[in-house]
Amino acid sequence: MNIDPKHLIQLTEIFDRGSFTAAAEHLNTSQPALSRMASALETQLGAPLFTSRRSPVTPTALGSELANHGRSIRASTEQISQLATRVAAGEQGELRIGAPPFHSQRVASGFIAAWLERHPEIRINLQNDYAPSLLNRLVEGELDLIMSPVDVIEGIPELIVERLTQGENVIVCRAGHPLLTEGPITPDMLSRARWITHARGSLLNRDTRLALTAVGVDYIDLPAFESNSAGAMHAVMEHSDMLTVLPDLIAGSLVESGAYAVLPFRLPGPYRPFGYVTHEARQNPALLAFREGLAIDIRKADKRARAICERAFA
């Protein structure tokens, strides 16, 4: 026997409010409609639900038991309605965000921490990977938004691409590196240096090779350390005289920490503007709020970073 949960909620309202009339007003229906529902429910069960239908109505033992179930259903329905309202308002839910390792550690994590303070009911799943893999996972529906170079995103009309920085790459070293006091930096100096390189297959690995080759540095045998771990690269660079190439957005953040410096040698490019990419099919209020906040935060960080790098080149 199937009993409509809606009828149990209506029965509960009748008992809780003490009359058919008061329950009808609360439920935005009519007293006769509730009376017919109650009679039909008694017929379906083959047992009475009321010892008295006069106000205040009095339930039988069966009526009381059904009303208890109705209260549970009503409470669950209200909780579901509240959840749906919070989700629709962007106040609750989950966002799956992807970012390259260095951006995740130096840019995304700080912004996400501040954003979650303002949106405590949102859960963020941050995943690290390089741009090509992140893009594939976005298209496949595994991520809601990725932070990545945006000049290589093309040919997929469903994607929303927002450019936030110019994306100049610079050479970064530890603060106090000997080359910082050597005067004008030359390609020969860079050729004699030891280098930290990014994981093969990453755009930054390729761009480092292209930029150094363009200024006459034979890069093939230079790297002394290679990793896809931002933490490991930080540790090696902080305790050695190795150099690495990073986007100016990341470099500015590192210099602000006091442990690193930008080497006064401007690379010729290529420049890769950085921003975010998301998919039209996965837009929701929480993601829209995240996109808006991310754009503001990264543009502010980029402005500070570019000023720091320009001072190094001056």
pLDDT digits 0-9 by tens, 179-226 = 999 889 999 999 989 998 888 878 888 899 899 999 998 765 667 888
pLDDT digits 0-9 by tens, 69-109 = 999 988 888 777 766 666 666 666 899 999 988 888 888 88
pLDDT band of 293, cuts 50, 70, 90: very high
| 56-63 mean pLDDT | 92
| 147-174 mean pLDDT | 88
Q: Which residue segments constitute the domains of the chain, with CATH numbers given?
A: 5-88 (1.10.10.10), 93-166+273-313 (3.40.190.10), 169-262 (3.40.190.10)
pTM of the complete model: 0.71
pLDDT digits 0-9 by tens, 112-126 = 999 999 888 889 999
| 52-62 mean pLDDT | 91
Measured between alpha carbons, how far is residue 154 from residues 149, 161, 168, 216, 269 in Å? 12, 9, 20, 31, 20
Q: What pLDDT sits at residue 186?
A: 94
Q: What pLDDT sits at residue 221?
A: 63
